[in-house]
Amino acid sequence: MRSVSVYTSREYTVYIGGGLLSEAGGRIMAVCGGETAALITDDIVNKLYGDAAERSLRAAGYAVARFVFPHGERSKTMETYTAILRALAQAKLTRQDVLVALGGGVVGDMAGFAAASYLRGIGFAQLPTTLLSMVDSSVGGKTAVDLPEGKNLAGAFYQPHIVLCDYETLDTLPAEIFNDGCAEMIKHGVILSAELFAILKEPMQSNMEDIITRNITIKRDVVTADEHETGIRKLLNFGHTLGHGIEKHSDYSVPHGSAVAIGMVLASRGAARAGFCDQECHLEITEAVRRYHLPTATDITPDQLIDAAFFDKKRSGKRITLILPERIGKCAAKDFSLDEFADFVRLAV
Ligand SMILES: NC(=O)c1ccc[n+]([C@@H]2O[C@H](COP(=O)([O-])OP(=O)(O)OC[C@H]3O[C@@H](n4cnc5c(N)ncnc54)[C@H](O)[C@@H]3O)[C@@H](O)[C@H]2O)c1
């Protein structure tokens, strides 16, 4: 087992190991205490791991209230969020109790927002079960739901008290969902680590503990330096402004990781054409995306991407910040007027 300590407004530990799910109850009790655990998960993860998680929580002394919602991004709504809050109230959770998010990024983001807001904040444990949620979304405290107007538009910064990444749960993950997580790892490589980018060219299956730990360490370093995204944390948005537009305009039929993959290919193509990086950098990113069978193009139109970006969180007043590569391992934030941004998108697509 490995661990990574995160030093944000709340200090907490991320554990990475095989079989951690069966130890989850004891580890959560040691950090959070409390009497009742609300186990929040989606229907697919519930069938696979709900009983094991509940057994572990009960063995540690928790009374468990389970809430299950239909899987997928289309559930990441105010309606599901409200239903979770009501389930917490009906289970009579107090501020001393704990919410346990078991699942991918959709579960973690939405349950995290419920943990942040129910009674103005209760104990929060993340048990991520997708590669994406292990290497990215479960660490750093961004919680959110989507609004009809766009992705993740309502939420809060709320750090978990503990994160337990049991990589054995990845055994049941369909290949395309595993690959969505690879998109966020490619992103980490492009923005901050040429070394990680090179490692991702090798087969990783026998080395999951190491690769997950490397990615969490990169994310930890970024969020420790800039918890509330006023500076370096913006780099983690590489591929996301265009990616969010693809998710929204595909009605969320394109998964988040795949949309980010396309977003990285488009952003790097635009960057190469605009002279921010050389063509080789764009080709390397495209090749990395292809290696994990992720998509490189979209039929969402430039106008739709531009329209979506005007609703994105990365807009400030009449300007939009895009993260663009300078070379593998180094990205920078570039500030565009709305007209310049529209020109850039037309150049990139
Ligand atoms: N908070 C952050 O910092 C952050 C960062 C990146 C992404 N995100 C968010 O994360 C979400 C995407 O997360 P995701 O890709 O994990 O999607 P997801 O949570 O929808 O999971 C993908 C699918 O995999 C299934 N699944 C989960 N674990 C499984 C397992 N072990 N075996 C079999 N099936 C399993 C789920 O039921 C779901 O159908 C998006 O909403 C995105 O906005 C948040």
Q: What is the pLDDT of residues 250-290, one digit of tens each?
A: 999 999 999 999 999 999 999 999 999 999 999 999 999 99
The mean per-residue pLDDT over the stretch 295-311 comes to 93
Pairing between strand 123-128 and 162-166?
Answer: parallel
Q: According to the model, what pLDDT value does residue 203 have?
A: 85
141 CB neighbour count, 10 Å cutoff: 21
Strands annotated E in 78-227: 98-103, 123-128, 142-147, 150-157, 162-166
- Could you tell me which of 203, 199, 288, 205 has the C-alpha nearest to residue 239? 288
Give the Å distance between the CA of 138 and the centre of ligand 1.
Answer: 10
Give the Å distance between the CA of 337 and the centre of ligand 1.
Answer: 33
Contacts of 240 (CB under 8 A, 6+ apart): 260, 263, 314, 323
Residues labelled as active-site residues: 120, 142, 184, 219, 229, 233, 237, 240, 244, 256
Q: According to the model, what pLDDT value does residue 294 have?
A: 98
Q: Whose CA is nearest to atom 35 of ligand 1?
A: 173
Q: To the nearest whole number, what is the mean pLDDT of the chain?
A: 96
* Residue among 109, 113, 159, 258 to mutate when testing ligand 1 (max atoms within 8 A of CB): 109
pLDDT above 70 (res 195) = yes
Helices 338-348, 302-311: crossing angle, 10 deg rounding? 140
pLDDT above 90 (res 206) = no
Report residue 204's pLDDT band, with 50, 70 and 90 as the boundaries: confident
- Could you tell me which of 115, 139, 287 has the C-alpha nearest to residue 201? 287
pLDDT above 90 (res 318) = no
Residue type, 338: L
C-alpha pair distances (Å), 301 with each of 30, 79, 265, 342: 51, 30, 15, 12
User: Mind listing the pLDDT tens digit for each residue in 38-47?
Assistant: 999 999 999 9
The mean per-residue pLDDT over the stretch 302-330 comes to 89
pLDDT above 90 (res 218) = yes
Is the whole model's pTM more than 0.85, yes or no?
A: yes
Are 97 and 28 within 8 A, CB to CB? no
Quote the percentage of the chain above a pLDDT of 90: 94
The mean per-residue pLDDT over the stretch 139-146 comes to 98
- DSSP three-state, residue 305: helix
The mean per-residue pLDDT over the stretch 202-222 comes to 93
314 CB neighbour count, 10 Å cutoff: 17
User: Mind listing the pLDDT tens digit for each residue in 91-135?
Assistant: 999 999 999 999 999 999 999 999 999 999 999 999 999 999 999
Give the Å distance between the CA of 49 and the centre of ligand 1.
Answer: 15
DSSP string, 8-53: SSSEEEEEEETTGGGGHHHHHHHHH--SEEEEEEEHHHIIIIIHHH
pLDDT above 70 (res 169) = yes
User: Mind listing the pLDDT tens digit for each residue in 46-97?
Assistant: 999 999 999 999 999 999 999 999 999 999 999 999 999 999 999 999 999 9
Residues with CB under 6 A from ligand 1: 42, 44-45, 48, 71-73, 76, 103-107, 109, 129-130, 132-133, 136-137, 140, 142, 152, 169, 172-173, 177, 180, 255-257
207 CB neighbour count, 10 Å cutoff: 12
Q: According to the model, what pLDDT value does residue 313 have?
A: 67
Longest Cα pair distance anywhere in the chain, in angstroms? Answer: 60
Are 75 and 69 within 8 A, CB to CB? yes
Domains of the chain are: 2-172 (3.40.50.1970), 175-348 (1.20.1090.10)
136 DSSP assignment: I
Q: Whose CA is nearest to atom 41 of ligand 1?
A: 106
Report residue 311's pLDDT band, with 50, 70 and 90 as the boundaries: confident
The mean per-residue pLDDT over the stretch 7-24 comes to 97
